[in-house]
Amino acid sequence: MTDPDDAAAAPTPREPGRVRTAVVVGAGLAGLTAATGLAARGIDVTVLEARTRVGGRTRGLPVAPGCQVDAGAAYLGERHTELLALVKELGLDTTPTTMRGASRFVLGPEGTTRDGRFPPLNAVALGELFDLLDELTAAVRPDAPWLTPDAERLDTLTAAEWADRRLTHPDARLFFPLFLGEMMAADPADVSVLHMAFYLRSGGGVRYLNAFEGGAQQDRITGGAHQVCERLAGRLGSRVRLGEAVRAVHQDDAGVTVHATAGAHRADVAVLALPPLLADAVEHRPAPAVPRAGDRTARGCAVKATLVYPAPLWRAHGLSGWSVNAEGPLLSTVDDSPADGGVGVLTGFVTGAEARRFGALSPRRQRAAVVEQAARIFPMLPPPTGLHITDWVDEPYSQGCYAALRGPGDWLRYGPTLTAPHGRVHWAGTETSTEYFGLMEGAVRSGHRVVAEILARD
Give the model confidence (pLDDT) of 416-445 as tens digits: 999 999 999 999 999 999 999 999 999 999
Q: With a cut of 80, say whether residue 9 has pLDDT above it.
A: no
According to the model, what pLDDT value does residue 98 have?
Answer: 78
pTM of structure: 0.94
Q: With a cut of 50, say whether residue 16 has pLDDT above it.
A: no
Q: What is the mean pLDDT of the chain?
A: 94
Question: Which residues belong to CATH 3.50.50.60 in the chain?
Answer: 4-52+225-296+419-456
Distance CA 284, CA 280 (A): 8
Average pLDDT over residues 76-80: 97
Q: Between 309 and 339, name the one with better pLDDT.
A: 309
Half-sphere exposure of 4 (CA within 13 A, CB side): 0
The superfamily in CATH containing domain 120-210 is Guanine Nucleotide Dissociation Inhibitor, domain 1 (1.10.405.10)
Q: Label residue 342 by pLDDT band (50, 70, 90).
A: confident
Lowest mean pLDDT among 97-101, 118-122, 247-251, 285-289: 97-101
Helices (H), 90-225: 123-139, 151-156, 159-166, 170-184, 193-202, 206-210
Question: Which residues belong to CATH 3.90.660.10 in the chain?
Answer: 94-101+214-221+301-391
Q: Which CATH class is domain 94-101+214-221+301-391?
A: alpha beta
Q: With a cut of 90, say whether residue 8 has pLDDT above it.
A: no
According to the model, what pLDDT value does residue 458 have?
Answer: 67
What are the CA-CA distances from residue 452 to residues 33, 348, 381, 445, 457 (Å)? 12, 39, 52, 11, 9
Q: With a cut of 90, say whether residue 5 has pLDDT above it.
A: no
Question: Which residues belong to CATH 1.10.405.10 in the chain?
Answer: 120-210
Cβ–Cβ < 8 Å for 446, 5: no
Burial of 59 (0-12, 13-18, 19+ CB in 10 A): buried
Q: With a cut of 90, say whether residue 180 has pLDDT above it.
A: yes
What's the chain's Rg over C-alpha atoms?
Answer: 22
What are the CA-CA distances from residue 280 to residues 54, 61, 82, 169, 277 (Å)? 21, 30, 28, 41, 5
Largest CA distance in the chain: 71
Percent of the chain with pLDDT over 90: 93
- 4-52+225-296+419-456 to CATH, choices 3.50.50.60, 3.40.605.10, 1.10.3720.10, 3.40.640.10: 3.50.50.60
Q: Label residue 349 by pLDDT band (50, 70, 90).
A: very high
Residue-wise pLDDT for 227-255, tens only, equals 999 999 999 999 999 999 999 999 999 99
Beta partners for residue 349, in sequence order: 304, 332
Average pLDDT over residues 293-319: 97
Burial of 362 (0-12, 13-18, 19+ CB in 10 A): exposed
Q: With a cut of 60, say whether residue 1 has pLDDT above it.
A: no
Residues 6+ apart with CB under 8 A from 186: 159, 180, 196, 298, 300, 301, 351, 352, 405
Tell me which residue of 382, 363, 356, 383 sits closest to 371, measured CA to CA.
383
Q: Between 343 and 14, name the one with better pLDDT.
A: 343
Q: How far is CA 171 from the centre of its chain?
A: 28
What are the CA-CA distances from residue 186 to residues 251, 352, 440, 454 (Å)? 36, 4, 17, 33
Q: Label residue 99 by pLDDT band (50, 70, 90).
A: confident
Q: Label residue 368 by pLDDT band (50, 70, 90).
A: very high
Distance CA 268, CA 244 (A): 19
Average pLDDT over residues 371-380: 97
Average pLDDT over residues 293-308: 97
Average pLDDT over residues 258-273: 97
According to the model, what pLDDT value does residue 14 have?
Answer: 42
